[in-house]
Amino acid sequence: MNTKRYELDDADLHAWVDGRLDGQARAAVEAALAADPDLAARARAYIDQNHDIRALYDGIASEPLPDRLRPARIAAMQRRRRWLVPVAASILWLAVGLTGGWLAHDRLADFGVGGATRAMAAEAISAYRVYAVEKLHPVEVGVSDADHLMKWLSRRVGYAMTAPDLSPLGFALVGGRLLPAADGEAAAQLMYEDASGRRVTLYVSRNDSGQETAFRYQEAKGVGAFIWLEPDFGFAIAGDLPRQPLLEVSKIVYEAFEPTH
Amino acid sequence: MELQRFADQLEKWVPNLRRYARALTRDAVQADDLVQDCLERALSRQHLWRADGNTRAWLFTIMHNIHANDTRRAGSRPVSVQIDDRDGHHSHPPGQTSRIAGMELAAAVERLPVEQRQAILLVALEGMSYAEVAETLGVAQGTVMSRLSRGRERLRRAMEGEGPALRVVK
């Protein structure tokens, strides 16, 4: 045995902990550990950390993948959008004004969309929770004034809105209202109801994050919401419905708002 | 076809990205958002992908950049809202693991500075070589070693400081 005290390099200790050392280097670390119980206890603790972290999180890697995380599906969505974006952008830039819109887009373009979709989901769900339970005044303007309603909301929100037809799913338009959104912007909420009194809302507000995204699902306090972000506007379908029927509603609305329609 | 091959390449790493994102953020919804952001960005930057390159390191680098930006933004604009906290942060079945010990470890990992957390998780979960961690994080290997060293020591003290040492039993 080597009697000379070995000056252990910290990097070697970690390499040994991670099983990255062979031969002489490995033997040298082991000799140092044998000579120093405190060091050995530290090494042991580090090995335990690796093991424990894997035990905590390894199972996630074998969970079934949700559709929204399938690359082929995301790619298909993006291919489709490539057609839509130039059309949508040319229309919207006229409305929004080149300078401000483009600067905002440029400044924020590199942020992830997680925060933006979560914020929008929170607003849409909160608005749903406030107004969907209303018996007397669920909407500001009722369906009898639908033309006026859509013109008004379109003007205030800056998006040419139509009320998508949800009758194939048994939902009829009740009406809509204007809502405050972030930074003094206005957002629109349209409310639909089915024969059993279940309500879903369509929420539209500006999307200044510069990001686009496919459908995302979020839930809070029993209210679910599908959200998607277009270049300048974000959309949310919120409802006290199971996920699948809510997705059906979202698909219809998404189709209805394609610029080509 | 090239795009199909690219999507396949990405799909292979999605479970790894998810696992890592969950450990990094400890929030199931936020973690999957991060993965989705990462895939969307990777797909839109296919021209930067090299078939002979290290796809895993490339993907993890993209995810780190997004995470850093999200974190910065959350700090400067305090609008983040906890949408859903019901999803479990831990993937293990309760019977097999001490849940309390697991939560303490996860919380201790979360309290680490983010760069130490990244180094520890990339090594522990991904089994990345130190050189690969350095490539992923865009720093020198020596920096990786010192982050690993400081992070592990801090974690050890945190776990020992909280009463009798709790271990996760697999």
CATH code at position B50? 1.10.1740.10
Mean pLDDT of chain A, nearest integer: 83
A97, A137, A253, B66, B125 from A117: Cα distances, Å: 24, 28, 17, 14, 28
Same domain (yes/no): B77, B108: no
Question: Could you give phi then psi for residue A241, rounded to 5 degrees?
Answer: -125, 155
Tokens of A38: 């405190």
* Cα gap B122→B63, rounded to integer Å: 12
Over residues A232-252, the mean pLDDT reads 91
CATH number of the domain encompassing residue B168? 1.10.10.10
Residue A35 token pair = 């000579």
Point out the residue among B36, B120, B156 whose CB comes nearest to the CB of A42.
B156
* Higher-confidence position of A199 and A213: A199
Where does the pLDDT of residue B10 fall: very low under 50, low under 70, confident under 90, or very high at 90 and above? very high
Picking from B66, B89, B112, the residue at the C-terminal end of a domain is B89
Q: Which of A134-143, A232-241, B69-78, B120-129 has the highest mean pLDDT?
A: B120-129
Question: Which residue bears the tokens 């819109």?
Answer: A101
User: For chain A, which domains are there?
Assistant: 10-61 (no CATH), 67-256 (3.30.200.100)
Q: Domain containing B30: what range?
A: 1-89
Integer angstrom CA distances of residue A77 from A41, A64, A249, B62: 53, 21, 18, 20
Say if CB A43 and CB B92 are below 8 A apart.
no
Domain boundary residue, one of B89, B106, B131: B89
Same-domain pairing of B29 and B81: yes
d(CA B159, CA B170): 18
Query: With a cut of 0.95, is the ipTM above it?
Result: no
- Strands A171-180 and A186-194: what pairing? antiparallel
Q: B1 with B85, same domain?
A: yes
pLDDT band for A89, please (50, 70, 90 cuts): low
- Residue located via tokens 């998810």: B18
Same domain flag for B97 and B81 = no
A69 vs B79: CB contact, 8 Å cut-off?
no
Are B84 and B34 in the same domain?
yes
Question: Residue A112: is its pLDDT beyond 80?
Answer: no
Chain B contact for A54, CB < 8 A?
yes
Tokens found for residue A185 = 């912007």
- In this complex, do B69 and A75 lie within 8 Å of one another by their Cβ atoms? no
DSSP A159-191: S-------GGGTEEEEEEEEEE-GGG-EEEEEE
All residues at 6 or more sequence positions from A99 whose CB lies less than 8 Å from its CB, including other chains:
none
Tell me which residue has tokens 């909301």.
A153
pLDDT (average), residues B125-130: 95
Based on the fold, state whether residues B78 and B101 are members of the same structural domain.
Answer: no
The CA distance from A250 to A2, in Å, is 72
From chain B, the residues in CB contact with A61 under 8 A are 15-16, 18-19
Q: Quick check: B91 and A69 CB within 8 A?
A: no
Residue B105 shares a structural domain with residue B169: yes
Q: Does residue B97 share a domain with residue B169?
A: yes
Number of domain units in chain B: 2
Rounded to two decimals, the pTM is 0.56
Residues of chain B with C-beta less than 8 angstroms from the C-beta of A218: 29, 83-84
Q: How far is Cα A243 from Cα A225, in angstroms, rounded to an integer?
A: 8
Beta bridge partners of A191: A175, A201
Q: Which residues pair with A142 in a beta bridge?
A: A175
A73 CB neighbour count, 10 Å cutoff: 15
pLDDT at A6: 56
pLDDT at B87 over 60: no
Looking at B51, B66, B89, which one is the last position of a domain? B89
Contacting A residues, span 8-27, partner chain B, CB-CB under 8 Å:
10-11, 14-15, 17-18, 20
**Same-domain check for residues B78 and B100:** no
Taking the CA atoms of A87, A230, A96 and A104 in sequence, report the sign of the dihedral they define.
negative
Same domain, B5 and B74: yes
Backbone phi, psi, residue A218, to 5°? -135, 155
Query: Are residues B42 and B3 located together in one domain of the fold?
Result: yes
User: Is there a single domain that holds both residue B98 and residue B158?
Assistant: yes
**What's the CA gap between B7 and B23, in Å, rounded?**
24
In the predicted model, is pLDDT for residue A237 greater than 90? Answer: yes
